[in-house]
Amino acid sequence: MNVVLSQKQIGQRISELRKIKGMSQESLAKSVKISRPSLAQIELGNRSVDILELQKLSLILKFSLDDFMSKDFSASHEVEGKEVKNAKKEEERISVPTLQVNKFK
């Protein structure tokens, strides 16, 4: 039941999510309010990430901390799940009638 992730595994997961979202290290680091070299060290597994940084990353990269810390985590699955939810929202769109400009001439 206990899942212990190494710094390297956490860094790889962050890197994978960042790349899937199309973000640069610079832009993600700026959003999290850490330096780019610090983010690079986290992604390489050379620096630990504190809980506040991890929380900011989850909000920016839109992943669940519970899923992220599980042994069955898949970054591509995490992104696909979000895209499916967005697709459903588009299907629920309400049709707006067009204006009848000729009526006012």
Q: Give the separation between CA 75 and CA 80, rounded to whole angstroms.
A: 9
Query: Are 29 and 35 a contacting pair, CB within 8 Å?
Result: yes
For the chain, the maximum distance between any two Cα atoms, rounded to a whole number of angstroms, is 73
The string of pLDDT tens digits covering residues 2-52 is: 778 899 999 999 999 999 999 999 999 999 999 999 999 999 999 999 999
pTM (2 decimals)? Answer: 0.70
Question: How buried is residue 83: exposed, middle or buried, by Cβ count under 10 Å (0-12/13-18/19+)?
Answer: exposed
Question: Which of the four CATH numbers 1.10.260.40, 1.10.240.10, 1.10.3720.10, 3.30.390.30 does domain 1-71 have?
Answer: 1.10.260.40
